[in-house]
Structure 1
Amino acid sequence: MQAFRNCGLCASGSLLKGRTDFLVARRNMAVLRLSAACVQLLKDKANVFCRSPVHQRLLRVPKVARSDTVAFSLGCSLCAVPFTQVENLSHESLIRRASCLVTDSANTYLSQTTLALVDALTQYAKALHTLIALQKRYITSIGKLTPAEEDSIWQVIIGQRVEVGDRLEECRRFESNWMNAINICELSAEAAYNSGAEHACTATKANLQVAQCKVEELRKISKKAEKKLAETKAEEIQRMAEYASSIDITDLEDIPEAYLRED
């Protein structure tokens, strides 16, 4: 049947063009011949089917039985079609879906704030270690530098201390956002559990644990660096006192300005 329709459409389209353009007359005739061949083929197939024993037996079946057979075959065909079962849109299901969306957004917020805080803590620890290295270099060179060299190294140390302060302020700012993300994730996990979305609750709690462990690890590294810097400052004060006691100080103005500067 589909072939017949295609042939009919081709023929009609070709004939319409042929009315205005005589140059395509041969093609129109070829299309007509092809259409006639298709019709003849369909007739032959129909005659073979009508002469078949199955068709003859179907003709002897009563009308009621034939209608039932058609209905049964149609029902079987519908049973073969896959249907997607739609979840009941009750209040509980809508709340459960909404809680899952909340947990997804909370996890995204937690991921971004954790990444920012971890990066800030890493940069802060690097700045601390750089300052420690400068302090140690200065301690080993006390009494060996000229006033110009001493002023130069102190300018570098002061600049690094400013860098450490900026990094620390950045850590505090990102930590505030991170704490808000922690609280939001905890609330969203509780809401997901109460609504019946246990999988969303479990995933959020797992993300919370990973984020807290990572931040705690970087905090420990920063604390160790701060402790090391404090020890270096104490060592510097002790070394300066030893150097001052080893020389004869007659005038306080002879003491370099760096020695009188408070850290």
Structure 2
Amino acid sequence: MASLCRRLVWSFSHLLRQTFPIVHKQSVLGLFKGSWRRVLSVGVGTSLCAIPVGQRTEPTLSNDSLIKRAASLVTDSTQTFLSQTTYALIDSLTEYTKAVYTLLSLQQKYTALLGKMNSSEESAICQVIIGARVQMKKLQEEYLRFEASWMRAVSISELAAEAAYLAGADQASVTVRNHIQLVQTQVQETREIAVNAEALLVSSQSEEIIKSITEDKNNPDDGSLSEDEIPEAYQRED
């Protein structure tokens, strides 16, 4: 019985080798195993391809939403512009105020020394005062230039706030208006300090002129500056 089974297997293998010469070195079991693998892979691939894959779609924004976004971007840009011009203006105003106080201090010292200096000493201190006045004038022109830019930034920010309000971007509009009020307060406080310094300077100059005239009348031949020369000496910038 066992001999008969072996003969049947041998005959079947011989028949396969004749029919499929490429696999004559493979066993019958290996042939069937490889065939089942190919069948399984094809079946799985086909089943995966049959599964539909969903596509993600972005929600369509309305025209109103797009306009609100654009208005918000505009308000952000104007706030940046306004912040930068505010910083430049406050910084230049501060430097100008320092220059005013420097000139004020020099003139007060000069006034206190009137009648106690010889001509060379008086000429030297006048040159220092003239130099301080030139520096003050330069810084004044600089802060006026920055002030013009700041005023334009305020106007643009107000227009942006109005546009945001009309577009329905209420929060962006409120934010810009609050920012405008804040920087206006900061600039006003800094400007008041500069105005006070200018007022003190004018008062000091008046006091100096009066004292110079008095000294000139009391000592007409002592070589001091005349009544007409004193104001001119402080108005010269070259």
TM-score when normalising by structure 2: 0.70
% identity of equivalent residues: 42
> For each residue in 1:92-147, what CA deviation from the matched residue of structure 2 results, as whole angstroms up to 9, or x when unmatched?
11111110000000000000000000001100111000000000000000011122
Distance in 1, Cα, partners of 2:182 & 2:63: 33
Which residue does 1:95 correspond to in 2? Answer: 67
Distance in 1, Cα, partners of 2:67 & 2:216: 74
CA distance 1:86–1:199, shift in 2 (3 Å): farther
C-alpha displacement of 1:245: 1.7
C-alpha displacement of 1:246: 1.3
C-alpha displacement of 1:193: 0.7
> Any residues of structure 2 matched to 1:1-263 within 5 Å, and which?
88-249=60-221, 254-256=223-225, 260-261=229-230, 262=232, 263=235
Distance in 2, Cα, partners of 1:161 & 1:178: 25
| RMSD after superposition | 2.3
Distance in 2, Cα, partners of 1:151 & 1:248: 18
Aligned residues: 180
C-alpha displacement of 1:247: 1.8
CA distance 1:135–1:259, shift in 2 (3 Å): farther
Distance in 2, Cα, partners of 1:219 & 1:203: 24
- SS of residue in 1 equivalent to 2:95: helix
Distance in 2, Cα, partners of 1:90 & 1:257: 80
> For each residue in 1:196-243, what CA deviation from the matched residue of structure 2 results, as whole angstroms up to 9, or x when unmatched?
111111110111011000000011111111111110010001101111
- SS of residue in 2 equivalent to 1:177: helix
Distance in 1, Cα, partners of 2:194 & 2:188: 10
> For each residue in 1:77-99, what CA deviation from the matched residue of structure 2 results, as whole angstroms up to 9, or x when unmatched?
x9xxxxx9966412111111110
Distance in 1, Cα, partners of 2:172 & 2:227: 59
Distance in 2, Cα, partners of 1:258 & 1:130: 25
Distance in 2, Cα, partners of 1:185 & 1:87: 32
Structure whose alpha-carbon radius of gyration is higher: 2
Distance in 1, Cα, partners of 2:123 & 2:59: 75
Paired amino acid for 2:164: A
Paired amino acid for 2:229: L
1:151, 1:258 within 8 Å by CA — same for their partners in 2? no
- SS of residue in 2 equivalent to 1:145: coil
TM-score when normalising by structure 1: 0.64
Distance in 2, Cα, partners of 1:257 & 1:241: 7
The answer for unaligned runs of 5 or more in structure 1 is: 1-77, 79-83
The answer for unaligned runs of 5 or more in structure 2 is: 1-53
1:113, 1:174 within 8 Å by CA — same for their partners in 2? yes
C-alpha displacement of 1:256: 3.5
Q: In terms of mean alpha carbon deviation, does 160-169 or 85-94 score higher?
A: 85-94
Paired amino acid for 1:260: E
Distance in 1, Cα, partners of 2:191 & 2:59: 46
Distance in 1, Cα, partners of 2:68 & 2:144: 35
Distance in 2, Cα, partners of 1:230 & 1:194: 49
